[in-house]
Structure 1
Amino acid sequence: MDFWSRLIAGTSLTPAGNKATAKDPEKRLARFKREYSQLLQTWRGASNLARDYEAAENIRDSLQDLTAILSDESRRPLPHPCITFASSKQIYVPIGKIATTSYNEGIIREGVALFATLIDSEEEDFVENETFSRSLMNLLVRITGANSIRLGSETEVEVVELSFNITTKIRLDPEILPAWFATQGREETQIEGQGSHEKFTGKTQKEDFPLFYLLIDYIHHEGRIGDFARTGLLYIIEAASSSVALEQWIVESDLATLMATGLGALYSQLSRKLVIDHPLDDLPPILALSDYQLPHATSEIVSSSSPDFQMHMETFLSHLVFWQDVLNHCKSGEVKSTLLEHFQVIFLQQLLYPSLLESSDVDGGSSVAVLTYLRRILEALDHPDMIHLILHYLLALPDTTPAPTGSRASVSAARKRKSMDLATMMMATQVDTSSTPALFNLVDLIQGGLRSPNEQTISVTLQLVSVILRRHHRYAVTTLLWTSQVLSDGPVRPVGAHEMEMDFILSLAGGIGGDDNFDEVYENHVKDCMAILESHPCSITLVAPKSAGGTTKFPGATATIPGAPRDIRPHTLRPEDPMLKTLLSVMATFFINSIETNLSLTGAVVDLATCGFMRIDGWLLPDPSKYVFEDDDDETEEPISLGLGDSIEEQERAQLRNLKKARRTLNWSKSQIPAFLAQLKTLVEQVTTYRTDIPRFDDLLQQRREAFQAASSATATPVPALSTRLPSPTHIPGTRHPLPLQLPTRTPQPRKSSSGLSGGYGFATPTTSRGAVPPPQFPMNMDSASRGHSHSRAFSPSPLRAGDPRNGVPASQAAAFAAIDQSILARKVGLPPAKGAVPPIPFPNLKAVADEGSKEGSVQDDGSVSGTEEKEKQVEGEEQKLVSVNHILTNVIVLQEFLLELAALVQVRAGLFGEVRYV
């Protein structure tokens, strides 16, 4: 009836008589009393509402009418006789009993709506009435308890929303709290007679604050119901600062226990074994143009792109962030200390650390899983106390004697009792504490992960290192890294040396070659580095404006728990640092590494050099104290100091002398070059070897850049180089700027290396594995004629420009030449040999093959060349890892981008942190 009435415009849902009744307070009250009387009569006449459907429907209708009258009256001018009647007669008491005993969801829902209407009316002090609160909480506890009927999702949302509304009013007016929270009088003997587990779990205290426990039951839910529950609980915890009784009660309750065990349960739901993968239909271009192969997932080994895994991961992280929100809202030091203690004992010591300890590469992915989970945890959190607990424990940092907290003896005693209960419970559950971080800590795990034969383990370990270096550098200074303190009065890099170092790095990038707008991309790297350096949590104290006292303090930036690392000081890496050596060993196989490994590697190096207190001299750049200059005569002379009595001419001569000394050039052959720069130079020399032995290397490399540009221009937003495919807002470190979807021309022209490296390096016949040849969505045969040829480096004639008469290649041979290029990309190669080594059989001469192919009009489908297959099989070593030329080209571009990023980083640091001396 009502539905059809709504379809008729201008038709009221209320009869004309009811309208008049609603306007008249006396008639409205009479109708209200009549409906209420009929409700009681129906209820008393029904023996069992769960079976008497007609009576249940009549009661539901009566409740609905009562709620409608109250809601309508609350919007009308005074007087409100119905609301006054509801308060004076306490109609909510029988209505609560009716809903509680009905076991009918319709009646329950209408009963909850009536209570919500009375609270929203903000009259008659319902929310301050203890009888009202007891009646409502009895209803809510009974209908959400274990013996109640299963409520629908909408009804549950309304129940929790009503509870949230009550906490909102408590937050606005703390004087309301006694109506909803009151400690029950218990005899001490009764409490002592209970077991330690019962005291620990707070079973004797639920009747003190049922609203509190109702919200706890829903904090792990998703959607609106979980949001209401978590926010309501935050409001209650916030109110503890204004009530000593509530503060003590929360400390002794099982809030901390339930939160810690709930977090542990969500962590336990995450898969023990994991592989990081990317769906083939959504593969990033940088992986599509490489030897990427889909990892093997089984019933035990879960894929990171699985919707179920991502849902579990997001649920766990959301609850972890809720922990952080609770600590941020909590103004009570005692409550905060209790929560953190349970977080450490129950989650860190009993779950997170054992999972790290038991991880292994042998069982197929458990190391990848736990390292990824730890990285996501450190990325999701920014509360200094939680970060401190995690890293302090996992890195086995020394403990300090905790200072006493709290000024009220009763609360401190409550915390002491709770701590003793926690220790008792740990003993009762017989938890194994024989293995601790003192024997095997996070540093050991990271070093083992970086030496793993599994490239996914190496990649995720590097990502974890990046997060620690980027966000929690002070914890890495004395643990992950071997550092030495830098004195403030030490030698500073002169501008002449700085320019030579910049030229050296840029010349390495230029040695790779290219025909593109390098200036624009280099400037983009400079902007990215400026943002990264300015936002680093350590560097911000160096770049932020100083206060009147000469210092800058950032409240909340450090942990309040005793034992937090001291303020970071200027330092640098020691040459024997194990982490640096490990990074160099991974970099030594750069071109045959997976793309994910190289992106994670370059990101870790950049993050290592981002902290303003980390000096890059000595490990990334030459040590200024060991410079050897071209001008030996002035090498030992110190800068001339100026005196007040000196003449103007003497001062000018001294200043010019100092300027000249600062601009002296280095003698690179005699200066001690760090191993890191030497390794980069070796990689560029390997590129020169590839250029010598791989036909049309420069053209194929340029086409690879254009393929990235095409992939970038095909999307509305820049295509990220790589995504972890995990539900995280961040990408893999080192991909802040889209990988060369435009590559620099700022570098010098490519020149042949003087190293004399030449020869082949382990070719093999191509395979049919996915990724050996670029997929069709990223073609390599794009016409590049439109780009112009103003660049001084001339291209060799390209078969891919077959239709261009300037190339002298007939259009009929385009397909044959394109197939030849595909065969080159599919060939398998290894690393170039070391200097002095005898190279294996060189790459076959494809020029003759091209001529033959143009005559026949085709090339063999598998890319093999006549007379070479057997020889290649003979030189293929079983222990030598081989990758396709296609894979090599992508890694070459990654290397060039990394070199440009390093150059930008050195340049920005010099200006931002004053690391260069001009006089």
Structure 2
Amino acid sequence: MDFFSRLVGGGTSGPARTKPKAAPSNDPQARLARFKRAFNLVLELCKKPRNPANERPLLEQLATAISRLSVLIREETRASIPHLCLQYAATSQIFTVIGRAAVVSQYEPVIHSAVVLFAALVDSEEEDFLSSASFAKSLMRLVTKVADSGNVLVSVDTETSILELLFTISAKIRLQPEILSVWFRSTARPELEDVFVKEKKSFVGITQKADFPLCYLLIDRVHHEGRIGDFARTGLLYIFEATGRSLDLEEWVVSSDLPTLMASGLGALYSQLSRELSILHPDSTLPAVLAMSDYSTTHPRATAESAFSDRHQAHMATFLSYLAFWQDVLDHCRSADVKQTLLDHFQILFLQQLLYPSLLQSSDTDAGSSVAVLTYMTCMLEALEYPDLLHIMLTYLLAISEGNQVAPSTPATPVRPSMPPRSPTALKRRQSLMLLTAPKDPEQAFEPALFNLTDLILNSVRSNGAQTVFSALKLASTMIQRQRKYAFGTLLKVRPGRTPTSRERTSLRLVESLAVNTEVAGSAIDAAKGPSRTVGALELEVERYRNLASALHSDTFPEEAYGSLCDDVRYCIEGQVQLMPTNDSGETDIGTYALSPGDPLMQALANLLRAFLTNSVDVNLALTQAVISIASCVALRLDTWLALEPSEYNFADAARAAGKPWEAFLEDDETAAWFALQQASRQPAWSADTAPLLHSILQSLVHELAHVRNTVPNLDQLLAGRQHMLQASPTPAQPVSEPPSLVSSPTQPSFLEAPLPKTAPQGSHTRSSSNTSSSLARGREAASTLTSPNQARQATSPSPSFIRPSDTTTTTIDNHSPATRSIFQPPPAETPSTTDVLMQKLTFPAIKGRDAEEAQEGGERTASLNHVLTNTVVLQQFVLELVAVLQVRAAVLGEREVRYG
């Protein structure tokens, strides 16, 4: 029986054997066993003797084994507790073995796997690896040997992984300041710096890479592009933020060469920029507003680098990104001493040693060094927003005294943001820096007190080179728009021009009520109030400028175009009012200053405006922007140069008008208010002697255009067509579409018969929109790419060959009636082509100012009709913008701008 049982059962007579159950995957012991087997494999591979002739398979196995460890650590982090694998990794210090193996192997896959393993341990957030000195030592040894020595060439992916790991550690230090002592240990001896400085044996600052290798690894890569630079810059920001929590780190940074490295890095990037710069648009991206003029795209000197070249745009973008990094560092820094030390290095090593010498050595006769400096200054002022950096740069370059020792006619020096007093270490650091950078011969040192940025701008505005003038005008506009408080008293010579406060206006109304029935009421009130613009004068000024705009182009006033201009001007003025601080009485500083009669910048702008019709179009676009920037400053009064001078008001109807019957029923206060309103609504007499400066110049331009009308009978039709073409041209940010084929459309209407548009689309000097279609706004938008080279790649516009009128239209000028023709039929021999009409040269008389002394040198001016047409369209848009400024200022500022009663 037992025999058959064994045959059937196939086994012994005992109980059946069962298969052992496998350990569950989430069993901590099982995970630990797998982890130990993987680590033992790494140990075995590391103990094998190396064979340089055939060690690649061994290194590949080692990289795979380390990657397996990283995967197990990631799985352990996501598994349920207890995490025995992480405990084993910490107690066994597996990172020491793996870090040493990666360094010795010098094989990139092994290095990459080791970096991934370290990142997995850091991300585990257990066993406190970041507070382990051995972990920090192993990691820094690996990263330093790979990324800092240069003996191992690694790919971008591996270097990115290394920087991402360093960034993660910096973020952990920011959140856990107590672990800083593990990664940073100060061994610096500041007392040795005095010896080094005296003997001139040391670079500015003490280099101690072994104290904080993480910081040096990050600062060496802040210039990189892509993710590497992003990780380095952000990680370094966290390090500087930690200076506010550690006195040792603060002292170490002040004494180290980190501020010097940052300042010298900024100087190195600035030095990469070309000394000779050409801002001429290339033919392929020439904006339409410039193509329809006498604009030349040929630079007289081939060595000047184009502002639109890929090389220049890349260098400019790198420089501006590092300048933005400077602002971020100062904004994140929580240590006053570190912040002040950085600012000292910015001023001494960058401003005094590099930027100001380039400004001083610039010239208008060496192919564009002035153009380059002015353009770079514009880019920096557009990019800078940090108050301390702006204060240091502008007070130094404009030679503004820090002690407020300015002329009585100029406003006080802008107050610098409050900074606490420096520590003895920071003071010693600044003294050492100044000693090392001091010139050998003090008499050869040049300071901005002799020649500053204002002198460069004024000299450049008066230059004969169109590029230099354009660059100077753009810089002046940027300063006035963005840094008005520094421009007042330096670039713009101003004098006090206070507006009566609300309390004073109340007192004046009381004077009116008391003097309303006397014969000398009007003169007494005017004497009490002092010079002040009235609403009647405003209405007269607006009417005169509106008449100029109509006389330039059409008998009708473009209301819709004017409305869009008002919206943009209102946006600018309301923004200023909201941001202006209030004084002790609660009033904002509106109308505080007035332009001095002999302001050099305004005189230079006036001289350029007199030659508007023959100026280069890009110069005119920058000129109009500069004038509108000054007119939009709510702290400046418009008297004399844009509006009538209130002290010279002359009223022809001095006698009071006969009273209305209903006036007898008014109360005393109502009678006083009604009388004041009548007085303020009177329009003063307008004479050539009292006319504002800009109006007189614009009137002379209207007279010049009238002479052109006598030469070209169909000038109004030509202007209508030119405005229509500029309105239809694509904006610089839009792609250029090919023109319709003349073969598929053999006949096309002449641009001469284009109707005068009822509206001119909006344009603004304060904000740009891709949807705007104003010729003036489009031109300024196209010109703005010159001062923002990093956006020039996106700026596209028609090629001159696409918009030549002769390619699409012809007309006859005998009977002033347009005609169309087929492209297969040549024009009649006696009929000049459109090209011949537009290219005819017009002659204008020499420029003369109000005084004989202002007469410019040179004879008659010439320009083509094509050029004059474009400038005329720009001029009309400019006059419309002046009207908008006059009305919007009065509407927004109210009685702080004009007197209504």
- TM-score grouping bracket, smaller chain normalisation: 0.7 to 0.9
C-alpha offsets along residues 389-435 of structure 1, whole Å, 9 cap, x if unaligned? Answer: 11111111113399999879xx7122123223312321499899611
Residue from 599, 610, 618 that aligns with 2:621: 599
1:664 alignment partner AA: R
Trace 1:167-182 onto structure 2 (pairs within 5 A).
167-182=170-185
1:826 alignment partner AA: M
- The CA deviation at 1:471 is 0.9
- The CA deviation at 1:39 is 1.6
Stretch moving more, 43-52 or 357-366: 43-52
Distance 1:51 1:328, change over 3 A: farther
SS at match of 1:882: strand
Check if 1:917 corresponds to 2:892.
Answer: no
Instruction: Tell me the distance in 1 between the aligned counterparts of 2:39 and 2:129.
Output: 19
1:134 alignment partner AA: K
Would you say the 8 A contact 1:273–1:369 is kept in 2?
yes
Stretch moving more, 905-914 or 298-307: 298-307
Check if 1:777 corresponds to 2:803.
Answer: yes
- The CA deviation at 1:47 is 3.5
SS at match of 1:590: coil
Would you say the 8 A contact 1:216–1:233 is kept in 2?
yes
Residue from 547, 551, 572 that aligns with 1:532: 572
C-alpha offsets along residues 542-568 of structure 1, whole Å, 9 cap, x if unaligned? Answer: 5x9x89x86499xxxxxxxxxxxxx89
Would you say the 8 A contact 2:843–2:862 is kept in 1?
yes
SS at match of 1:592: coil
Distance 1:197 1:178, change over 3 A: farther
SS at match of 2:402: coil
TM-score, normalisation: structure 2: 0.80
C-alpha offsets along residues 118-150 of structure 1, whole Å, 9 cap, x if unaligned? Answer: 001111101111211111111111111234212
- The CA deviation at 1:609 is 1.4
Residue in structure 2 matched with residue 90 of structure 1 by the alignment = 93
Residue in structure 1 matched with residue 251 of structure 2 by the alignment = 248
Identity of counterpart residues, as a percentage?
Answer: 40
Stretch moving more, 486-495 or 690-699: 486-495
SS at match of 1:829: strand
Instruction: Tell me the distance in 1 between the aligned counterparts of 2:190 and 2:457.
Output: 54
Residue in structure 2 matched with residue 691 of structure 1 by the alignment = 709
Would you say the 8 A contact 1:215–1:230 is kept in 2?
yes
- The CA deviation at 1:648 is 3.5
Residue in structure 1 matched with residue 36 of structure 2 by the alignment = 33
2:612 alignment partner AA: F
Residue in structure 1 matched with residue 494 of structure 2 by the alignment = 483
Residue in structure 2 matched with residue 386 of structure 1 by the alignment = 389
Instruction: Tell me the distance in 1 between the aligned counterparts of 2:634 and 2:724.
Output: 36
- The CA deviation at 1:184 is 3.1
Distance 1:834 1:74, change over 3 A: closer
1:260 alignment partner AA: A
- The CA deviation at 1:277 is 2.2
TM-score, normalisation: structure 1: 0.78
Instruction: Tell me the distance in 2 between the aligned counterparts of 1:117 and 1:743.
Output: 59
Residue in structure 2 matched with residue 898 of structure 1 by the alignment = 878
Instruction: Tell me the distance in 1 between the aligned counterparts of 2:828 and 2:65.
Output: 82
Instruction: Tell me the distance in 2 between the aligned counterparts of 1:506 and 1:339.
Output: 53
Check if 1:824 corresponds to 2:852.
Answer: no
Residue in structure 1 matched with residue 634 of structure 2 by the alignment = 612
Residue from 493, 510, 517 that aligns with 2:550: 510
Distance 1:56 1:833, change over 3 A: closer
Residue in structure 2 matched with residue 160 of structure 1 by the alignment = 163
1:231 alignment partner AA: T
- The CA deviation at 1:256 is 0.9
Residue in structure 1 matched with residue 646 of structure 2 by the alignment = 624
1:777 alignment partner AA: I
Residue from 421, 446, 451 that aligns with 2:432: 421
Distance 1:440 1:28, change over 3 A: same
Instruction: Tell me the distance in 2 between the aligned counterparts of 1:399 and 1:267.
Output: 27
SS at match of 2:449: coil
Stretch moving more, 152-161 or 731-740: 731-740
Distance 1:431 1:209, change over 3 A: farther
Residue from 670, 674, 690 that aligns with 1:672: 690
Trace 1:481-880 onto structure 2 (pairs within 5 A).
481-489=492-500, 490-514=530-554, 518-536=558-576, 539-541=577-579, 551=586, 570-633=592-655, 648=666, 651-669=669-687, 672-712=690-730, 736=768, 741=773, 775-777=801-803, 779=805, 798-802=816-820, 820-832=833-845, 880=860
- The CA deviation at 1:266 is 0.2
- The CA deviation at 1:173 is 1.7
Would you say the 8 A contact 1:406–1:412 is kept in 2?
no
Would you say the 8 A contact 1:521–1:743 is kept in 2?
no
Would you say the 8 A contact 2:197–2:432 is kept in 1?
no
Trace 1:120-269 onto structure 2 (pairs within 5 A).
120-184=123-187, 200-269=203-272
SS at match of 2:110: helix
Residue from 341, 345, 360 that aligns with 1:342: 345
Distance 1:884 1:31, change over 3 A: same
Distance 1:467 1:367, change over 3 A: same
Check if 1:883 corresponds to 2:901.
Answer: no
Instruction: Tell me the distance in 1 between the aligned counterparts of 2:771 and 2:614.
Output: 18
SS at match of 2:729: helix
Distance 1:42 1:299, change over 3 A: farther
Distance 1:204 1:119, change over 3 A: same
Distance 1:702 1:468, change over 3 A: same
C-alpha offsets along residues 722-744 of structure 1, whole Å, 9 cap, x if unaligned? Answer: xxxxxxxxx99689579994589
Instruction: Tell me the distance in 1 between the aligned counterparts of 2:692 and 2:443.
Output: 46
Instruction: Tell me the distance in 1 between the aligned counterparts of 2:48 and 2:732.
Output: 73
Distance 1:879 1:656, change over 3 A: closer
Residue from 452, 455, 473 that aligns with 1:444: 455
Stretch moving more, 92-101 or 192-201: 192-201
Instruction: Quote the RMSD (CA, aligned, Å).
Output: 3.9
Residue in structure 1 matched with residue 286 of structure 2 by the alignment = 283
Instruction: Tell me the distance in 2 between the aligned counterparts of 1:895 and 1:204.
Output: 60
Would you say the 8 A contact 2:283–2:800 is kept in 1?
no
C-alpha offsets along residues 302-350 of structure 1, whole Å, 9 cap, x if unaligned? Answer: 0011011000000001101111111111121111100000000000000
C-alpha offsets along residues 499-525 of structure 1, whole Å, 9 cap, x if unaligned? Answer: 110000110000012388811110010
Residue from 294, 299, 302 that aligns with 1:296: 299
1:422 alignment partner AA: L
Distance 1:395 1:341, change over 3 A: same
Residue in structure 1 matched with residue 479 of structure 2 by the alignment = 468
Instruction: Tell me the distance in 2 between the aligned counterparts of 1:424 and 1:28.
Output: 63
Instruction: Tell me the distance in 2 between the aligned counterparts of 1:535 and 1:29.
Output: 65
Instruction: Tell me the distance in 1 between the aligned counterparts of 2:420 and 2:537.
Output: 58
Give unpaired runs (5+ residues) of structure 2: 1-19, 405-414, 501-529, 738-762, 777-796, 849-856
Distance 1:175 1:551, change over 3 A: farther
Would you say the 8 A contact 1:526–1:905 is kept in 2?
yes
C-alpha offsets along residues 452-489 of structure 1, whole Å, 9 cap, x if unaligned? Answer: 11111001001111111111111121111221101333
SS at match of 1:830: strand
Instruction: Tell me the distance in 2 between the aligned counterparts of 1:827 and 1:590.
Output: 18
1:824 alignment partner AA: V
- The CA deviation at 1:361 is 1.5
Instruction: Tell me the distance in 1 between the aligned counterparts of 2:418 and 2:675.
Output: 61
- The CA deviation at 1:800 is 3.1
1:629 alignment partner AA: F
Residue in structure 2 matched with residue 908 of structure 1 by the alignment = 888
2:154 alignment partner AA: L
